Structure 1
Amino acid sequence: MAYPSVDIVAFSRPGGESCAPSRARPVDLVHLARQTMGDRALEQEVLSMFVQQAQSVKDQIRRANAEQRRFLAHGLKGSARGIGAFAVAEICGKVEDEPTSEAGMRKLARAIDDVRDFVATINR
């Protein structure tokens, strides 16, 4: 039995595959579509889990010490890269390097809020 190619499966539904790759958006939908092979339900589930993780990190990181901030930022950075939230990932890398930077904490909180708002908008 012949199976459809990955390209056909991944791009048979509307979503990120109809967008140009963009690091300007809070989530690069093209990257996300590739990661989920175009499965819209999986995209929504992954985004929901990421928003929950990001909100949890946002709540915890302010009261964490420098070592804990590095740990939290590192974990979120990997998840952010996985879904295409590249701005969050980049800021997390900076937080890892400078865990006591209050400016970094504010930037991270804003980036997390941007992703949350973006996900809420595309799920309407």
Structure 2
Amino acid sequence: EFNAPGIGSLKEKFDYLKMDEDERRRFDKHMDYMRSEWGMIASARQEGRKEGRQEGREEGRQEGREEGRQEGREEGRQEGREEGMQKGMQKGIQKGVHQKAHEIAAMLRQKGWSAEQIAEVTGISTDEIS
């Protein structure tokens, strides 16, 4: 028994040539059928892979969208908190400045300053100074 490359192929060809005409026709018909089956199997595999990739892409996109939405919500909440804190601090500072101006106005009024002088120095309207 030889093990050289190509020996198996030569043996198959030799066996084919040894067949009579009817055997060759049946063998050829069988091989055509097998090639057709293999082709259908290969096509089905290829179609299955294509569908699988498409489904995988769609699932990946959906997961990506959901993750993006979640990240966006979290970022939005964080930005909202920061903006709220900033506005709250600004409002508190403004209120404190306004309150301090009124305290200064009251002290200046006790020292005898006129409402016009106090308004000029503190920025408070003369209507607010009593």
TM-score interval (norm. to shorter): under 0.3
TM-score by length of 1: 0.22
Bigger helix share = 2
TM-score by length of 2: 0.22
Higher relative contact order (CA 8 A, sep 6+): 1
